[in-house]
Amino acid sequence: MRLDTLLVHAGEPRPRAGGAVTMPIFQSSTFEETEARGYHDIRYARLSNTPSHDALHGKLAALEGAEAALATASGMAAISAALLSNLRAGDEVLAQEGLYGGTHDLMTRDLPRLGIEVRFVPGDDPAAWRKALSPRTRVFYLESMTNPLVRIADLPAAAAFARERELVSIVDNTFATPLSFRPLRHGFDLVAHSATKYLNGHNDLIAGALMGPSARIREAKHLLDHLGGSLDPHACFLLQRGLKTLGVRFRQQCATALQVAQFLDKHRAVARVNHPGLQSHPNHARARELFAHFGAMLSFEPKGGADAAERMFSRLSLPLHAPSLGGPETLVTRPAASSHVGLAPEERARIGISDGLVRVSIGLEAAEDLMEDFDRALAP
Ligand code: PLP
């Protein structure tokens, strides 16, 4: 079945629970004892095994074409469970440069305290990967689209590299979504999502998801059972509801993003636009080859740097100045003052994040209204 059909029907119980077309919320922390085969199977909401979790897991797994899935309390809970269930003291991680700030901080501040070292490498330089490899490397970690420059790594080469060297390959597929790219089909071992973003899609929930082979998901669940980062049943319900409309939302957002990117690209007050749908983007050809959509994120540099960006923020009437992405409301941020404020200015400059760079998460407003609003806000 096609993804749109799976989004509606996968994971839903048949026959429906109590005949309810929409999966009800099983708002119970504990369940009558059946035959638990061990601690991890006791029916208890922290152990991610209520009927609300089961239905959601089915839908999440289908979405990425995975054997199994695990819903988590946040994207970071999914990422940390994926990493920690595959690493132990003395191991090393190969990680793509320019990762989401929270993941970057987990890798540089917390993992070293556990005796795990991380080496950062460019996403499309196999020679650099080979050089950074050591006998202790266990995991290769990438994002299918990076923030905020929306670059696309050489993902097929990375999956093959990891497989040849028996590394566990993990991809954060938050920006691309399975509508654009399905990492497991390309040979990656695990896919992580901040379901806070497109999967839920309404800016009203924090959640995460991990998808992959049953054995790996079981390992991650057992760790999550101890770390305590389970998703509560009400949030399971919201995410399951949000997922049903992912296809229509995301395609619409991608179409609008391309229109807005093309509009900004021609605007006299804009120095540069980053969007994989533009021919000027360094990974345009790769996006065409690997992705079904160019995505709904873009970034651009207004002429005049940070001051011009801040002035534009103060004049915009539709986009809200807020972090996060993937919801109905268009959101704008200035990464140098938000997600990437922790990086040294030289490091930001090296990876191409100028002080004036503006990141845009395109929402579900009419493209024409957004373009008119940006035009007004960028006027001299
Ligand atoms: N991965 C990416 C690409 C993100 O942008 C984010 C959050 O912004 C996360 C992971 C973390 O997700 P959460 O905030 O749901 O923990």
pLDDT tens sequence across 70-115: 999 999 999 999 999 999 999 999 999 989 989 999 999 999 999 9
* pLDDT for position 351: 84
Nearest CA to ligand 1 atom 12: 75
Atom 5 in ligand 1: residue holding the nearest Cα: 100
Residue 352 has pLDDT above 80, yes or no: yes
In the annotation, is 244 catalytic?
Answer: no
Q: How much is the pTM?
A: 0.97
Catalytically annotated residue among 172, 189, 232, 373? 172
Asked about 46 being catalytic, the answer comes back as: yes
Statement: residue 290 has pLDDT above 90: yes
SS3 content of the chain, % helix, strand, coil (to 5): 45, 15, 40
Tell me which H or E stretch contains 9.
helix 3-9
CB contact burial 214-253 (16+ within 10 A = b; e otherwise): eebbebbbbbbbebebbbbbebbbbbbebbbebbebbebb
Pocket of ligand 1 (CB under 6 A): 74-76, 100, 102, 143, 147, 172, 174-175, 194, 196, 206, 208, 324
**pLDDT at residue 349 in the model:** 87
In ligand 1, the atom with minimum distance to the C-alpha of 323 is 8
Instruction: Read off the pLDDT of residues 110-153 as tens digits, 9 standing for 90 and up.
Output: 999 999 999 999 999 999 999 999 999 999 999 999 999 999 99
Specify the 3-state DSSP secondary structure of 331. Answer: strand
- 124 has catalytic annotation: no
Q: Examine the residue annotation and report whether 172 is marked as an active-site residue of this protein.
A: yes
Per-residue pLDDT band for 344 (boundaries 50, 70, 90) equals confident
Q: What is the pLDDT of residue 238?
A: 98
340 CA distance to ligand 1 centroid (A)?
13
CB atoms within 10 A of CB 266: 8
Beta-strand relationship, 137-143 and 168-172: parallel
- The encoded tokens of residue 353 equal 């994040």
Which residue reads 């395609």 in tokens?
251
Name the strands in the sheet holding 331-333, side by side, starting at the edge strand that comes first in the sequence. 270-274, 297-302, 358-361, 331-333, 320-321
Distance CA 243, CA 26 (A): 18
Q: Which of 4, 43, 46, 272 is catalytic?
A: 46
Give the pLDDT of residue 229: 98
pLDDT in tens, 171-195: 999 999 999 999 999 999 999 999 9
From 100, 124, 249, 334, active-site residue:
100
How remote is the CA of residue 379 from the centroid of ligand 1, in Å? 33
Return the residue whose CA atom lies nearest to atom 13 of ligand 1: 75
